[in-house]
Structure 1
Amino acid sequence: MRKAMIVWGGWPGHDPDLCASMMRGWLTAEGFDVRVETSTAAFADPAIHDLSLIVPIYTMAKIEKEEAANLCAAVRGGVGLAGHHGGMGDAFRDAVEYQFMCGGQWVAHPGNIIDYKVDVTRPDDPVMAGIKDFEYRSEQYYMHVDPANEVLATTTFNGDHASWIDGVVMPVVWKKRFGEGRVFYCALGHRAYELDIPEVKTMLTRGMLWAAR
């Protein structure tokens, strides 16, 4: 049986406890033995090197150097990493190796909760199979991203809330490698109820399965 670990905490506005419960259920249904932790201290545990998958849900907050170093080493060694929105893409702002591993870092969401479109750029990828472009209402994440990411979906900013980014095409979903490990990220899912949107649930479930060794 493959083993996964979900670590949740940090800023409560992203419903980390509810998201962790939902994602634990999805992984359990896929046959994973899921461990759930609520402290970054779990990342320092040598046992994480034996996991198949790690799912961080920990917006902002702090991570100790030894915790970040062990987490990054585990993924470089082959453990999968997958997550969504600020729980992975706006976690541990002062941990640059963590950001290098994730492939991006949140910097803004102009207009806060707005209507926008998600464009599928890789319909041939198994993670995106059968998913069409769709309309979405939530935070539209503006991120600093790694050009080495394999982008699966994007969104285009219209400049209504920040004129200088009009027409900017921003990655929303991507996958990448970090050493021997696979990394999957989806910028959607500001609140837990958004994870029940069929496209979001499908992408996250498939992305976690793709990342897991």
Structure 2
Amino acid sequence: MSARILVYTRTTAYRHDSIPAGVAAVRALGFDVDATEDPQALEALEGPLDPYAAVVFLSTSGEVLTDAGRARLRSYVEEGGGFVGVHAAACAEYDWPYYGELLGARFARHPAHQPGKAVIEDRDHPATRHLPAAWEFTDEWYDFRTNPRGAVHVLARADESTYDGGGMGADHPLVWCREQGAGRVFYTALGHASEAYDDPDFRAHLLGGINWAARLAD
């Protein structure tokens, strides 16, 4: 039986046209996906693995949870559930301090959508071990309000010398993971355009991150 995943895509600010492609990609990875924009789905979360192996925030934006949903998500992760943030998940829940801690950093700005390179720092993690040392990709190359290094395990960083408009300098984390309570958190800043979700390397990147967060892979 495939693992059951909750993919949450509610937006109250900017909405990415790529959200349907992202949901379809997660389904194509072989998961049993419940995709929703209903905050009550988060309010109904129970313990980890009951029923979801992981919760994925896919390009959410703005304030997307109720107070009850915040409380349930927090207890879900703290008790061992997996949490995955994709792209604009870093643009959500600015009014909830715990969410910033959970994710590791909050979105600040981005340059134009353009080609660039990500430097892979961890060649053993399930989300990055299939990638070349310098991964060529096209995306928005998010800058963050703070550098999360030290609070997270960085898997890949942006090489700002390979694109225009980077604002964080030589140490620019882009993909990372961390533990929160008994739970696991994975975040990738990539995934702006619909085309990203057709890319085999990016799909394998998502698969590895979700599997790691859900404890389906070492």
Decide whether aligned partners of structure 1 residues 85 and 46 sit closer, same or farther in structure 2, where only a CA change above 3 A counts.
Answer: closer
Q: Distance in 1 between matches of 2:207 and 2:84?
A: 10
Decide whether aligned partners of structure 1 residues 58 and 115 sit closer, same or farther in structure 2, where only a CA change above 3 A counts.
Answer: closer
Decide whether aligned partners of structure 1 residues 116 and 66 sit closer, same or farther in structure 2, where only a CA change above 3 A counts.
Answer: same
Show CA shifts across 1:28-68 (max 9, x none): x2xx4322222222111143642211111243232222211
SS at match of 2:177: strand
- 1:185 is aligned to 187
- 2:22 is aligned to 19
C-alpha root-mean-square deviation of aligned residues, in Å? 2.1
Where in structure 2 are the equivalents of 1:73-112 lying within 5 Å?
Answer: 73-86=75-88, 88-109=89-110, 111-112=111-112
SS at match of 1:13: coil
User: Which amino acid is the alignment partner of residue 97 of structure 2?
Assistant: V
SS at match of 2:172: strand
Show CA shifts across 1:8-31 (max 9, x none): 1213224223311221231xx2xx
Q: Percent identity?
A: 26
Higher strand fraction (1 or 2): 1
* Aligned residues of 2:21 and 2:197 also touching (Cα < 8 A): no
Show CA shifts across 1:109-152 (max 9, x none): 1x321332111111133332231112222201111343221111
Give the alignment's TM-score, normalised by structure 1: 0.86
Runs (5+) with no aligned partner, structure 2: none
Runs (5+) with no aligned partner, structure 1: none
Show CA shifts across 1:51-108 (max 9, x none): 211111243232222211211110111110113110x221222222112111121111
Higher helix fraction (1 or 2): 1
* Aligned residues of 2:184 and 2:213 also touching (Cα < 8 A): yes
Decide whether aligned partners of structure 1 residues 166 and 96 sit closer, same or farther in structure 2, where only a CA change above 3 A counts.
Answer: closer
Deviation at 1:157, TM superposition (A): 2.5
Give the alignment's TM-score, normalised by structure 2: 0.84
Q: Distance in 1 between matches of 2:83 and 2:56?
A: 6
